[in-house]
């Protein structure tokens, strides 16, 4: 039973990673991505907030915002 729960957990985690959307400031020039659209790191953004996938943001070389985990 524990093994099955473990498998479900692994599956759910990897599924979430693929599906996770993040927010970046502007389509270019951003260095951070944000999980929270209302993050205070984004509140200073003047280029428009763009929604993208976590995979793509990491592909751009972006790193997680310092205000978030
Ligand atoms: Zn943030």
Render pLDDT for 14-61 as a digit per residue (tens, 0 to 9). 655 457 899 999 866 688 999 999 999 898 888 899 999 999 999 989
Give the separation between CA 63 and CA 31, rounded to whole angstroms: 6
13 in any annotated domain: no
Alpha helical stretches, state H, 1-69: 2-19, 40-43, 54-59
Q: Between the CA of residue 57 and those of 1, 3, 7, 26, 68, what are the distances in Å? A: 37, 33, 27, 12, 15
pLDDT at 47: 83
- The answer to whether the beta carbons of residues 50 and 34 sit under 8 Å apart is no
Q: Pick from 37, 67, 38, 65: which is nearest to 52 by CA?
A: 37
58 in any annotated domain: yes
pLDDT tens, position by position, 53-62: 999 999 989 9
How many structural domains does the chain have?
Answer: 1
pLDDT at 30: 82
55 in any annotated domain: yes
Range of the domain at 62: 19-69
- Checking if the pLDDT of 63 tops 90, the result is yes
CA–centroid distance, residue 22 to ligand 1 (Å): 9
- Checking if the pLDDT of 13 tops 70, the result is no
Which residues are near ligand 1, the ion (C-beta closer than 5 Å)? Answer: 34, 39, 41, 65, 67-68
Predicted model pTM:
0.66
4 in any annotated domain: no
7 in any annotated domain: no
């Amino acid at each position: 039973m524990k093994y099955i729960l473990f498998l479900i957990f692994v599956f759910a985690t990897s599924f979430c990673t693929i599906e996770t959307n993040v927010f970046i400031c502007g389509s270019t020039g951003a260095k951070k991505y944000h999980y929270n659209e209302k993050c205070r790191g984004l509140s200073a953004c003047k280029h428009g907030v763009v929604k993208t996938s976590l995979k793509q943001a990491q592909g751009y070389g972006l790193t997680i915002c310092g205000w978030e985990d």
